[in-house]
Structure 1
Amino acid sequence: MPGPDALPVYGLAAVFAAAALVVWFAGTRLAMAGDELSERYGLAKEFVGLLFLATVTELPEIVTTVTAAQVGNAQLVLGNMFGGITMQTAILAVADIFAVRYALTSWPRKPNHALLAVLLIALLSVLLCVTFLGDLDLGPGIGLGAILLAAGFPLVIYLLRAFDRKTTWAPVDLPDEQERRKTLRAHLRAPDAASNRVLLLRSAVYSLLIVAAGAALAISADLLAERTQLGASFVGVTLLAAATSLPELSTTLAAARIGAYTMAISNIFGSNLIMLALLLPADIAYRGGPILDHATTGAQLSIATGILVTAIYVAGLLIRRTPRVLGAGLDSWLVLAVYFSSIAALYRIG
């Protein structure tokens, strides 16, 4: 039986598209099942988005990152990861345009999201410095930078939990997300009558589908990069990052449609945080030394734009009443402008 190497370009494109559709379908279903379970167990929406939704929607990134690292394509790994950070942040802008009343950043009643974004900016800044200075090889082929960035994930979770218990901020003249959520949820989604066991079984099946489709995405994107003139870095930032961001897009839009705006924001920022933690398994799977030593100018540009779009939303979260322009907050339009400008710049240098 011929392998994927024997497929023509249009065949690889068809595999890529089919795998992306599976990721979209399974990611949406998995998020809805997880949201139903969180409702039944009374879990906090902020941490459901940060931990549960962000984790399950990052399954394609986990698979594509490790798979591409194992075949030795460091540029595709870094392009997918770092380009995905800006793309996933731009998903919040899409949700703001199509599914939110008022500016999206006007809804959170706690400063937790602003703190999460600031900590994410700090880790991205460390990452950018490592790509310029070079990673320290601790052997065998594992860099100190990847270890530190992976350790940043539990540290951020700990700081957020501690801050959540001690925060002294109080909301003043903000829209009521809880009332909005009850109204939208009643109109858009009926309660799931399935038992907890059935919901867990569905979640397992959807997870397996995401893993299989994610592997197909990585392999087809790697082969497409070899056969086109775009370069692995550009393919990683655009095709692969777009396809593996489909679960984040579907879950964020679904959360925004039912009024779970804090969950939508924490889902995206949490996904970006997990993306940085994935550097360690990618470094372990890659056998050509510390993987961050292979960061290109395009990867560094993606990190810088990731910092910029996150900082824009920090400003929106602090200002709260961000002006709306053409149905979305001004901060969301700025994020989209940065994202599309970065794509144009990556194509130019890639």
Structure 2
Amino acid sequence: MSTVLSQFPILMNILLFLILAAVVWISGSRLAYLSNVAAGRLGISTSLMGLLFLSTTTSLPEIATTVSAVIDARPRLALNNLYGGIALQTAVLAAADIFARGAISNYPRKANHALEATLLVSLLSLSIIVVVIGEPIVIWNVGLGSFFVLVFYCSAIFLLRKYDDNNDWIPVDLQEVKSNLQSQSQPDQVNNATTRRVVWMNIAYASVIFIAGVSLVQMSVVISEQSGIGMDIMGVVFLAGATSLPELSTTLAAVRLGAYTLAISNIFGSNLIMVGLVFPADFLFRQGAILSFADKTVQLAAALGILVTSAYLIGLLIRRKPRVGRMGLDSVFVLVVYIGSLGLYWILR
């Protein structure tokens, strides 16, 4: 597909890119609504639905991109896409804060999201440690460091799943939020549908996101090559932006629905998956431990991921925080950091 697209003029490829982006946007918006409905039908908390199903679905383009990059022996592209997408997706949550009724980090009534953020910071810190000290032990071209990342990721998901029903941390005097599901177009078609049909509709829209998202990734690579953008910048900004479109559409839709816990878990869950993909990428990459190919751009991306995630962790713990316009101060900080990071990436190019 990339060979065919490279023969088209760059303007035509940009037009096709925008069409596919619209498809992903519409499908992601529908998926956020359907996931919220499915959570209620199946008796699953919205935070768990966002962490396990929605985040996995919206991460399918990242998974496909990572697999493609390592098979093509492009380890730096794979790593820049994975770690570069973390700050970008957190900035998506900050942008969605504009549509929330009050700072979005004020609404979670349990410690799940603070735990998600803490585990993500720990996982990113572990990644930086492995990159700095190198991979001293490599077995079958798989580094011991990436294996530790996998073990930590699996342990984090197990802990989050087990903690989901735990109510030992209950903040008081919180804002109430009502879901705005009934304002959506064609609500009766979903509300009157059977649970089985709702589940299949979730699967159908997830499939559309996967197909259109993978096509977006391939088009972004072609457009980047045609425009002469550097490989590192392409991976950490442009390619990460293309693969993050599903997260953007689903998060904005969830916030507009009033499903704030779904939106937050979607982003933090997607970011956890991004780091967790390091081991599969290392396993498929046959030319050595993949983290040994990480450069300063990857280290910067991981550090920025820690910074923006920590900002929301503070926001989740400090319930009453200053607002700037319609956004919480933590969201404003995240957006400023991400915009500033673009200049840092350009310096390191």
TM (norm. structure 2) is 0.91
Which string of whole-angstrom CA distances, capped at 9 and with x for unpartnered residues, describes residues 255-281 of structure 1?
111211111111111110111111122
| Alignment check: 8 A CA contact 1:230 1:347 kept | no
User: Equivalent residues in 2 for 1:282-297 (5 A)?
Assistant: 282-297=281-296
Displacement of 1:217: 3.0
Question: Corresponding residue for 1:329?
Answer: 328
Question: Corresponding residue for 2:183?
Answer: 187
State how many pairs are aligned: 345
Q: Distance in 2 between matches of 1:221 and 1:187?
A: 34
SS at 1:135 equivalent:
coil
Q: Distance in 1 between matches of 2:165 and 2:28?
A: 32
Question: Corresponding residue for 2:79?
Answer: 78
RMSD of equivalent CA atoms: 2.2
> Letter of the aligned partner of 2:194 in structure 1?
S
Question: Corresponding residue for 1:116?
Answer: 116
| Alignment check: 8 A CA contact 1:83 1:303 kept | yes
User: Equivalent residues in 2 for 1:86-235 (5 A)?
Assistant: 86-97=87-98, 99-136=99-136, 138-177=138-177, 180-181=178-179, 184-188=180-184, 190-191=187-188, 192=190, 193-235=192-234
Q: Which consecutive residues of structure 1, in runs of 5 or more, have no partner in the other structure?
A: none
| Alignment check: 8 A CA contact 1:104 1:261 kept | yes
Seen in structure 2, the aligned counterparts of structure 1 residues 19 and 69 have a Cα distance that, compared at 3 Å, is farther
Displacement of 1:39: 2.0
| Alignment check: 8 A CA contact 1:54 1:268 kept | yes
Displacement of 1:146: 2.0
Seen in structure 2, the aligned counterparts of structure 1 residues 101 and 72 have a Cα distance that, compared at 3 Å, is same
Question: Corresponding residue for 1:43?
Answer: 44
Displacement of 1:8: 4.3
Which string of whole-angstrom CA distances, capped at 9 and with x for unpartnered residues, describes residues 82-133 of structure 1?
1110011111111111x11111111111122111111110110001111222
Q: Distance in 1 between matches of 2:20 and 2:150?
A: 28
SS at 2:51 equivalent:
helix
Question: Corresponding residue for 2:238?
Answer: 239
Which string of whole-angstrom CA distances, capped at 9 and with x for unpartnered residues, describes residues 165-193 of structure 1?
5543222221123xx22xx2333462413
Question: Corresponding residue for 1:248?
Answer: 247
> Letter of the aligned partner of 1:56 in structure 2?
T
Percent identity among equivalent residues? 44
| Alignment check: 8 A CA contact 2:220 2:242 kept | no
Q: Distance in 1 between matches of 2:199 and 2:169?
A: 37
Displacement of 1:151: 2.4
> Letter of the aligned partner of 1:185 in structure 2?
L
TM (norm. structure 1) is 0.90
Question: Corresponding residue for 1:3?
Answer: 4
Q: Distance in 2 between matches of 1:345 and 1:261?
A: 31
Q: Distance in 1 between matches of 2:250 and 2:259?
A: 11
Q: Distance in 1 between matches of 2:137 and 2:199?
A: 41
| Alignment check: 8 A CA contact 1:68 1:219 kept | no
Q: Which consecutive residues of structure 2, in runs of 5 or more, have no partner in the other structure?
A: none
Seen in structure 2, the aligned counterparts of structure 1 residues 226 and 286 have a Cα distance that, compared at 3 Å, is farther
Q: Distance in 2 between matches of 1:262 and 1:139?
A: 40
